[in-house]
């Protein structure tokens, strides 16, 4: 029996004559991961549970195929998820070509289509699922260790139906009719099989219109995500020690910087895990991504009148915290609230979107904090800027789409590249005079590791 990998299976054309029979059988036993199709070239392709528990039915499908003029000459084993994708896309395409009206997928099938997408993302170790809908098709890709991989064209109607059904039935915060041309965001909670265990997944869904369709991005958040320790992140030993020293301070700001998807939330959780159990930590998050034991996590809605970051910092200050963790300082009100908290005897950890450590200082100045305020002793303690750099697969060197080790992504993980700035008197003087470049040059002469230099030579940071 031939084993077919996902990459080869996506090139298969199902036999239209017995497509309906295969779809009905596969849908009936969907929960048992049973799926089967007959290809136009005469291959009977079925999942392992189908071969194990429904062999007689498979023989009946072969007989029906023979009656329809397609002689089955080869038996194949394949992943049920990929077989279902082919079946449902082909069925939707056939339905669409015979009916000009937009089809409405059965909810069970649509929900299974979404679960299959998420399972595929888990296999690839993807952080995001990207869908770009045009009038004729949907382009699917996955963000894997910083790269967009697995780009394939899928049937538009089947995937649009899957997204609509998920938002309408599984989302806790989607309260509108599904409209392709409306900007909307929501979250979806679901349980899917990941290997041999059930994984609780939360999807952050962002939908927006495009020139001739719409785009959907789904960020995967694993609710059982392990909280890494500081010394497990890949930080240099001296940086870990410096961060641990700052966390022993009674007050001040400790900031983690970087673009979206660069591990800032993971680092923030690792910092919180270093706080002793005798201290009260309140974490303000939009949304809550990593469940942190012994941390008082509060959901924040950035644009909400009451539940925004700035107001929730004020609320947290009235609840006797020792440490306040802010998942993102993104506006003037939040920046000033974090500054006030650091001045009133609280340690504040937070993230800021900035290129590097000196970029954080420029960003805080842009958000309305004055150099004199930030340069006060004990206000800013330290800044960590970080990136995650992809590691090329050693087996295929990033060139084999069928590589079993990297599942065709070309990468097998990411390593952390970081730049740490301890806020000492030299940096405070540079802030007051706004002479960042001179301070940076002096630090480089003293052996300071700048982020840009490490990005051009990632091996220097490991």
Domain residues of the chain, as ranges?
A: 1-101, 102-222, 230-461
- Confidence grade of residue 157 (pLDDT, cut at 50, 70, 90): confident
Residue 100 pLDDT > 50: no
What is the three-class DSSP state of 263? coil
Could you give the C-alpha distances from 327 to 46, 264, 283, 345, 419, in angstroms and in order?
46, 9, 8, 20, 19
CB of 288 closer than 8 Å to CB of 255: no
Q: Name the token pair of 252.
A: 């001040």
Quick one: pLDDT at residue 257?
98
The interaxial angle of helices 80-98 and 156-170, nearest 10 deg, is: 110
Strands 347-352 and 380-392, how do they pair? unpaired
Quick one: pLDDT at residue 108?
72
CB of 414 closer than 8 Å to CB of 446: no
d(Cα 193, Cα 113) in Å, to the nearest integer? 14
Q: What is the pTM of this model?
A: 0.74
Summarised one tens digit per residue, pLDDT across range 280-308 is: 999 999 878 888 988 999 999 888 889 99
What is the three-class DSSP state of 412? strand
| Percent with pLDDT over 70 in the chain | 95
Could you give the C-alpha distances from 289 to 21, 308, 329, 389, in angstroms and in order?
42, 17, 17, 22
Cα 92 to chain centroid distance, Å, stands at 28
Quick one: pLDDT at residue 209?
95
Summarised one tens digit per residue, pLDDT across range 5-56 is: 877 787 888 888 888 889 889 988 888 889 999 999 899 999 999 999 999 9
Quick one: pLDDT at residue 387?
95
d(Cα 90, Cα 109) in Å, to the nearest integer? 13
- Confidence grade of residue 97 (pLDDT, cut at 50, 70, 90): low
Mean pLDDT across 256-271: 94
Quick one: pLDDT at residue 197?
77
Q: Is the dihedral of CA 363, 308, 163, 176 positive or negative?
A: negative
- Confidence grade of residue 417 (pLDDT, cut at 50, 70, 90): very high
d(Cα 88, Cα 98) in Å, to the nearest integer? 15
- Give the residue, 450 or 396, on which the prediction is more confident: 450
d(Cα 58, Cα 81) in Å, to the nearest integer? 18
- Confidence grade of residue 223 (pLDDT, cut at 50, 70, 90): low
Residue 267 pLDDT > 70: yes
Quick one: pLDDT at residue 340?
96
Quick one: pLDDT at residue 213?
95
Same topology, domains 102-222 and 230-461? Answer is: no
Quick one: pLDDT at residue 101?
43
Residue 147 pLDDT > 90: no
Quick one: pLDDT at residue 459?
53
Quick one: pLDDT at residue 102?
42
Tell me the average pLDDT of the chain.
89
| Topology at the third CATH level for domain 102-222 | Beta-Lactamase (3.30.450)
Residue 94 pLDDT > 80: no
Cα 259 to chain centroid distance, Å, stands at 13
Quick one: pLDDT at residue 458?
46
**What do you get for the CA distance between the two ends of the chain, in Å?**
45
- Confidence grade of residue 192 (pLDDT, cut at 50, 70, 90): confident
Mean pLDDT across 158-178: 85
Quick one: pLDDT at residue 224?
57
Neighbours of 238 (CB within 10 A): 10
Residue 138 pLDDT > 50: yes
CB of 408 closer than 8 Å to CB of 7: yes
Quick one: pLDDT at residue 425?
95
Quick one: pLDDT at residue 107?
52
Quick one: pLDDT at residue 103?
39
Considering the domain delimited by 230-461, tell me its CATH architecture. Answer: 3-Layer(aba) Sandwich (3.40)
Summarised one tens digit per residue, pLDDT across range 326-383 is: 999 999 999 999 999 999 999 999 999 999 999 999 999 999 999 999 999 999 999 9
Summarised one tens digit per residue, pLDDT across range 244-256 is: 999 999 999 999 9
- Give the residue, 152 or 93, on which the prediction is more confident: 152
- Confidence grade of residue 165 (pLDDT, cut at 50, 70, 90): confident
């Amino acid at each position: 029996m031939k084993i077919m990998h996902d990459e080869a299976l996506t090139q298969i054309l199902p036999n239209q004559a017995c497509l309906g029979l295969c779809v009905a059988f596969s849908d009936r036993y969907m929960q048992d991961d049973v799926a089967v199709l007959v290809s136009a070239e005469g291959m009977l392709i079925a999942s392992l549970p189908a071969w194990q528990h429904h062999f007689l039915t498979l023989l009946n499908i072969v007989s029906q195929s023979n009656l329809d003029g397609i002689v089955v000459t080869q038996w194949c084993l394949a992943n049920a998820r990929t077989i279902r994708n082919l079946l449902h896309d082909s069925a939707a395409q056939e339905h669409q070509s015979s009916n000009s009206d937009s089809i409405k997928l059965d909810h069970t099938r649509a929900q299974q289509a979404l679960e299959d997408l998420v399972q595929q993302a888990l296999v690839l170790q993807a952080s995001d699922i990207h869908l770009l809908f045009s009038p004729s098709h949907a382009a699917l890709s996955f963000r894997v260790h910083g790269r967009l991989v697995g780009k394939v064209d899928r049937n538009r109607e089947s995937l649009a139906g899957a997204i609509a059904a998920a938002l309408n039935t599984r989302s806790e915060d989607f309260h509108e009719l599904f409209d392709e041309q409306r900007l909307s965001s929501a979250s979806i909670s679901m349980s899917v099989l990941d290997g041999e265990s059930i994984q609780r997944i939360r999807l952050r869904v962002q939908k927006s219109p495009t020139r001739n369709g719409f785009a959907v991005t789904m960020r995967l958040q694993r609710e059982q995500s392990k909280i890494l320790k500081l010394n497990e992140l890949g930080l240099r030993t001296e940086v870990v020690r410096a961060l641990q020293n700052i966390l022993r301070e009674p007050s001040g700001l400790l900031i983690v910087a970087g673009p979206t998807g660069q591990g800032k939330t993971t680092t923030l959780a690792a910092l919180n895990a270093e706080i002793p159990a005798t201290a009260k930590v309140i974490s303000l998050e939009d949304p809550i991504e990593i469940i942190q034991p012994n941390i008082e996590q509060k959901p924040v809605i950035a644009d909400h009148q009451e539940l925004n970051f700035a107001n929730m910092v004020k609320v947290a200050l009235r609840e006797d915290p020792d440490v306040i963790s802010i998942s993102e300082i993104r506006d003037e009100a939040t920046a000033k609230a974090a500054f006030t908290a650091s001045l009133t005897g609280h340690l504040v950890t937070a993230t800021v979107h900035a290129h590097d450590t000196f970029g954080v200082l420029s960003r805080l100045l842009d958000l309305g904090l004055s150099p004199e305020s930030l340069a006060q002793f004990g206000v800013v303690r330290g800044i960590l800027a970080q990136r995650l750099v992809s590691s090329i697969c050693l087996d295929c060197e990033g060139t084999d789409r069928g590589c079993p080790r990297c599942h065709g992504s070309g990468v097998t993980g990411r390593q952390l590249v970081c730049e740490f700035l301890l806020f000492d008197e030299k940096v405070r003087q540079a802030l007051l005079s706004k002479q960042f470049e001179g301070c940076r040059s002096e630090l480089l002469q003293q052996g300071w590791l700048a982020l840009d230099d490490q990005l051009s030579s990632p091996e220097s940071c490991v």
